[in-house]
Copies of this chain bind each other. A is one copy, B any other.
Amino acid sequence: MANKTKKEPSREKKTDEKTIFVGNKPPVSYVLAILTEFNSGSNEVVIKARGRAITTAVDTAEITRNRFVTDAKVNDIKIGTDSINGENGRTINVSFIEIYLTTK
């Protein structure tokens, strides 16, 4: 689950993909953030979520694609496990998802 993309390396400047972190708010809040990102010139947005918010991330991507940016495509989806330091020094494993949405 390396974060390196398979595309040609961008020379010096960062790629213009922007990450939207999805949490406990309703999906529409994040849809709005994605629309803002696309409207400001980005052509790739990464939707990230952990744990229970994974469902919200998928909802967010689907609502964006079906209702607002109909030419947006799901370019890639990654899943993985993050280790978080919990109480009493225990490590908690939590799943995450990354959804790569692109427009042309």
Residues of A within 8 A of B (CB): 51-52, 54-55, 58-59, 61-62, 66, 74, 77-81, 93, 95, 97, 99
The contact sample of 24 A-B pairs, CB cut-off 8 A, is A51-B55, A52-B55, A54-B54, A54-B55, A54-B58, A55-B55, A55-B95, A58-B79, A58-B95, A58-B97, A59-B95, A61-B79, A62-B79, A62-B80, A62-B81, A62-B93, A62-B95, A66-B81, A66-B93, A74-B79, A77-B77, A77-B78, A77-B79, A79-B99
Collect the chain B residues with CB atoms within 8 Å of residue A51's CB.
Answer: 55
Collect the chain B residues with CB atoms within 8 Å of residue A66's CB.
Answer: 81, 93
Collect the chain B residues with CB atoms within 8 Å of residue A61's CB.
Answer: 79
- Max chain B CB contacts within 10 Å: which of A61, A78, A95? A95
